[in-house]
Structure formats: structure tokens, C-alpha cells
Amino acid sequence: MPNTKPLALVTGASSGIGETFARRLARDGYRLILVARRRDRLDALASELGEVEVLPADLATDEGLTIVEERILRSADLDLLVNNAGFGTMGRFFEIPVASQDRMHRLHVLATVRLTHAALVGMVPRGKGGIINVSSVAGFGQNPGSVSYCATKTWMNSFTEGLDIELKTARSPVKVQALCPGFTVTEFQDVLGMDRGRIPDRLWLKAEYVVNESLKGLARGRLFVVPGRAYKLLVALQRWTPRSLRVAATVRFWRPVKSL
Ligand SMILES: NC(=O)c1ccc[n+]([C@@H]2O[C@H](COP(=O)([O-])OP(=O)(O)OC[C@H]3O[C@@H](n4cnc5c(N)ncnc54)[C@H](OP(=O)(O)O)[C@@H]3O)[C@@H](O)[C@H]2O)c1
């Protein structure tokens, strides 16, 4: 008997927002394929959640990306892809090693392109499925000290919006979403080496809330999901403030953030 439970693949499922997606989707009755580099974390999650396939891969490498891409191409029934794996860096672009920026573009841009393509070539003919690209509020502007991060997340927003338009012109019911959270308590800040104390408490989001907003938004066909009122306001302000004013204010007030 074929398994009738829906199937989801989540990248970056070993911690934070990805792990939270995995837990929530398991509760919602999904079978899961979980991707990240830390196999021990994925194994622990799999033994807790049940119907889980663990797929350890470094998505910033050709080899790792090909493993996951081929797995998606082989699954005739993928219902949901969550392109979530990501990381930030701190420091001016011209002062930090280019290798980290190269890896970031491979992970946020190239992996998203390849995995999304692999998923859509099956989903569109089947007339069913969804893709969530975990972007950021950083994708609505620019910020000195995280130029590549903002640029890759801006790309994610644009890419997802373009896909949404294409899918609609093809009369496809397949849904895409750019999930754009603000500061969310995860290991992201530890990887970045950022002091959480410099961000006011009221701006911190919980991963469970972010995931809930995302899935609610997907059910309603929302293209951009910005969880939390404060961040919705921030995005609106950024949209409506003239670029010249934004740049002038940033140049006047920006100070480098000290890493931990
Ligand atoms: N937390 C925030 O404040 C925030 C805000 C806006 C957007 N986001 C976005 O949310 C997404 C998830 O981040 P998070 O906050 O949950 O951070 P996190 O807890 O550090 O999780 C990042 C995940 O990505 C995986 N990953 C990193 N590099 C990878 C690679 N080369 N190949 C495969 N997997 C990789 C990590 O697993 P391994 O280390 O095991 O590979 C981990 O599972 C990211 O795209 C991030 O940009 C986060």
C-alpha cells in the first residue's frame, strides 16, 4: 500500500527554524526528509519524530547539493520543500575572508535554485505542492556589515516573487512563499558571534511563532510572510522611505558591531 502521508523536505533541520519546521510538520502528519551537515543532530531528531529520512549533506558543496537534488528528483510525491539552511557573517565585505561569502552565495542562492528546480519539475505536472524559501527582513534593504547576507536574501525574495508570477501565468496551484523573519532566537546568533543582549527583548521572535505564521500564510497563498507587527512596520517604512534618505541615515548612524 502506498504511503498516503504527505512528504516534506527541510534543509537546515538540525537546529533553529528548520528543526522547528520539522517538529511542526511531523505533528501535522508529514513524513520528513531532513538535511543538514550535523548527522548526530538529525539522527536524534529522527528517533524522536518517527517517519524521518536523514540526509546529511553540505549544501554549499557540489557533492552535497547533488545528493539532495537527486533525492528530490527521485521522490514522486514531494508535497513541501523548505529551503531554510543559511547563516550570517559579520564584518565589512572588503575586510572579511571571501571564502565565507562564496559559501553563503552557494547556500542561499545556488542551493535554492537547484533544489527548487528539482522540486518544481515534479510538483507542476502533478498540480500540487509548496515551496517555502526562508529569507529574512534583511532582504528588504541593505546593511553595512552584512552586505552579502542582505543581497542573497533580496535575491531570494525576488526569485520567489518571480516564481509566483510564473506559476500563476501557468495556472499552476503550486504555492511559493518567501518567509522573512526578523531576529529569531536560534543558533544563528551563536554561529554569527553576535551578542543577543544588544537587541531589545520585544524584537525577539520565537521559532515556533515564525513557523506557525509561515504555514498559516502558505495555506492562504501568501507570497511574503513577515512575522510580527514590529517587523511588518519596519518593512513598510523601508519600502516608503526614499532611498537617498535611507542611505544618508545609514552612513550617518551606522557603527560596526563588535563580535563576541
Ligand atoms: N535567527 C534569525 O534571527 C533569522 C532571521 C531571519 C532569517 N533567518 C534565516 O533562517 C534560516 C535558518 O536559520 P536559523 O535562525 O534557524 O539558524 P540556525 O539555528 O543556525 O540553523 C541553521 C541551519 O542551517 C544549517 N546549515 C548551515 N550551513 C549549511 C550547509 N552548508 N549545508 C547544509 N545545512 C547547513 C545548519 O545545520 P548544520 O550546521 O548541521 O549544517 C542549521 O540546521 C537561515 O536561512 C537564516 O538566514 C534567521
- Output the 3-class SS for 58-72: CCCCHHHHHHHHHHH
CA distance 257 to 1: 56
Sheet holding 175-179, edge to edge: 52-56, 31-36, 7-11, 78-83, 130-134, 175-179, 224-225
Atom of ligand 1 nearest to the CA of 205: 3
The alpha carbon dihedral of 20, 139, 37, 190 has a sign of negative
Answer whether 83 contacts ligand 1 (Cβ < 6 A): no
The Cβ of residue 108 has, within 10 Å, a number of other Cβ atoms equal to: 28
Residue 126 CA, chain-centre distance (Å), reads: 24
- Residue 239 three-state SS: helix
Q: What is the pTM of this model?
A: 0.97
How crowded is the C-beta side of 191, counted as CA atoms within 13 Å? Answer: 12
Instruction: Quote the CA–CA distance of 222 and 243 in Å, as a whole number.
Output: 26
Ligand 1 midpoint to CA 242 (Å):
32
Q: Is 17 in the pocket of ligand 1 (CB under 6 A)?
A: yes
Is the Cα dihedral 170, 9, 68, 158 positive or negative? positive
Residue 82: count other Cβ atoms within 10 Å of its Cβ: 29
| Spatial CB neighbours of 224, under 8 Å, sequence gap ≥ 6 | 157, 161, 177, 178, 180
Closest C-alpha residue for ligand 1 atom 17: 188
- For residue 169, the CA-to-ligand 1 centroid distance in Å is 32
CA of 77 to the centre of ligand 1 (A): 26
Question: CB of 20 closer than 6 A to ligand 1?
Answer: no
120: exposed, middle or buried (Cβ count in 10 Å: 0-12, 13-18, 19+): buried
Q: Is any atom of ligand 1 closer than 6 Å to the C-beta of 159?
A: no
**Whether the CB of 139 sits within 6 Å of ligand 1:** no
Q: Distance between terminal CA atoms of the chain?
A: 54
By alpha-carbon position, which residue is closest to atom 15 of ligand 1? 188
pLDDT in tens, the chain (260 residues): 667 899 999 999 999 999 999 999 999 999 999 999 999 999 999 999 989 999 999 999 999 999 999 999 999 999 999 999 999 999 999 999 999 999 999 999 999 999 999 999 999 999 999 999 999 999 999 999 999 999 999 999 999 999 999 999 999 999 999 999 999 999 999 999 999 998 999 999 999 999 999 999 999 999 999 999 999 999 999 999 999 999 999 999 888 776 65
Q: Is the C-beta atom of 60 inside 6 A of ligand 1?
A: yes
Distance of CA 114 to the CA centre of its chain: 14
Domains of the chain: 7-253 (3.40.50.720)
Q: Is 149 a catalytic residue?
A: yes
